[in-house]
């Protein structure tokens, strides 16, 4: 009869623990060599910059306006006629604005929230009045962000979006024969001093175009009668005053750099539309380099010129004054 086999040697408890620890270390080294981490700290949350917050909030408002106008069109079976045309223009403008702003924001959630869309819990289909009201509130909100963006190019875009939203709200309300809550009160006035960041050449162009608008509208007034004459004369006087105020602010009044002339060539047609449209372009260009503090006054002058151009027959565009270069 063969003897019993010797029992397997049992490792001491301390030796087994040491081997287990050593095996864990080896496994960790192998996995780390393969690019695998057993544990890692979560990445630090990204903090959106001031520009990103302004961009995100403006984009959110543009998307909300677009979606509300799209739903209003669908609720009314496509909304034919003037109201439908204005709603489709709102959707088209929003698309162009979104592209200029870089599309729907995909970064960290902004701390600046979009403008409220209405009373929570309401389920009634959107109307032209609702869209016009939303446009008006979005315009006010965009203007309130102008000083928050360090990037002057972004601030110019936000000012242009605000202007178009205000004009779209007015045009839609008129087409639908509705009234909307009064927008913010704007005191359109030339700053007492040239805003920080303004280029001298751009400011000189503003002076010249304001003076030209005054001169040419004086010609229009002289050729008109009744209310048309009074309106043209009043607008001409306002432009002459702004030209002088800008020349004083820029420190070029009466100096060699003063671009004002005694006479200007008369456009072949649509004088008011032409001169106001030139000012829209001039004020958009001026915004392109301004420091935050001086933007609101120039944005209001941009909106004022754009409104006057539209009243004189110019179309409402998505970005009055053109896209920044």
231 with 308, same domain: the answer is: yes
103: alpha, beta or left, given left = phi > 0 and alpha = psi -120 to 50?
Answer: left
Q: Is the alpha carbon torsion for 83, 85, 91, 93 positive or negative?
A: negative
* Residue 191: burial class (beta carbons within 10 Å; 0-12, 13-18, 19+): middle
Same domain assignment for residues 314 and 255: yes
Query: Is the Cβ–Cβ distance between 73 and 91 less than 8 Å?
Result: yes
What pLDDT was estimated at residue 237? 98
315 CB burial (10 A radius; 0-12, 13-18, 19+): exposed
With a cut of 60, say whether residue 29 has pLDDT above it: no
HSE, CB side, 13 Å, CA atoms: give it for residue 31: 10
pLDDT at residue 100 greater than cutoff 80: yes
Supply the pLDDT for residue 44.
59
171 and 68 part of one domain: yes
What's the domain range around 223? Answer: 186-325
Q: Is 146 among the domain residues?
A: yes
Over residues 110-141, the pLDDT tens digits come to 655 556 554 444 567 889 999 999 999 999 99
pLDDT digits (tens, 9 = 90+) for 149-188: 999 999 999 999 999 999 999 999 999 999 987 666 567 8
Residues 166 and 192 in one domain: no
Tally the domains of the chain. Answer: 2
User: What's 263's domain CATH number?
Assistant: 1.20.1260.10
Q: Are residues 142 and 205 in the same domain?
A: no
**Would you state the pLDDT for residue 104?**
87
What does the pLDDT read at residue 182?
Answer: 67
Q: How far is CA 152 from the centre of its chain?
A: 11
Cα–Cα dist 254/250, whole Å: 11
What CATH number has the domain bearing residue 58? Answer: 1.20.1260
CA distances from 78 to 72, 81, 88, 153 (A): 8, 10, 9, 36
């Amino acid at each position: 009869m063969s003897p019993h086999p010797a029992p397997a040697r049992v490792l001491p408890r301390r030796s087994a623990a040491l081997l287990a620890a050593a095996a864990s270390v080896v496994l960790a080294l192998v996995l780390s060599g393969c690019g695998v981490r057993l544990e890692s700290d979560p990445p630090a949350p990204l903090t959106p910059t001031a520009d990103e917050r302004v961009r995100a909030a403006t984009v959110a408002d543009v998307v909300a306006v677009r979606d509300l106008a799209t739903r209003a069109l669908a609720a009314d079976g496509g909304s034919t006629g003037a109201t439908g045309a204005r709603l489709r223009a709102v959707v088209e403008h929003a698309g162009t604005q979104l592209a200029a702003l870089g599309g729907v924001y995909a970064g960290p959630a902004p701390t600046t929230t979009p403008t409220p869309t209405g009373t929570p819990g309401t389920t009634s289909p959107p109307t032209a009045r609702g869209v016009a009201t939303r446009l008006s509130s979005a315009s006010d909100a965009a203007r309130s962000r102008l000083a928050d963006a360090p990037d002057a190019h972004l601030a110019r875009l936000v000012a242009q979006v605000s202007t178009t939203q205000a004009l779209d709200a007015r045009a839609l309300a008129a087409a639908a024969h509705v009234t909307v809550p009064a927008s913010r009160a704007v005191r359109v006035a030339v700053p007492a001093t040239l805003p920080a960041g303004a280029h001298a050449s751009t400011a000189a162009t503003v002076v010249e175009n304001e003076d030209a608008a005054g001169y040419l509208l004086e010609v229009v007034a002289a050729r008109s009668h009744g209310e048309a004459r009074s309106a043209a004369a009043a607008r001409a006087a306002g432009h002459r005053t702004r030209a002088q105020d800008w020349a004083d602010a820029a420190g070029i009044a009466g100096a060699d750099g003063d671009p004002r002339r005694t006479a200007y060539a008369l456009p072949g047609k649509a004088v008011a539309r032409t001169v106001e449209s030139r000012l829209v372009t001039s004020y958009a260009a001026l915004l392109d380099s301004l420091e935050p503090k001086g933007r609101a006054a120039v944005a209001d002058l941009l909106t004022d010129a754009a409104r006057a151009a539209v009243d004189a027959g110019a179309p409402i565009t998505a970005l009055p004054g053109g896209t920044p270069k």
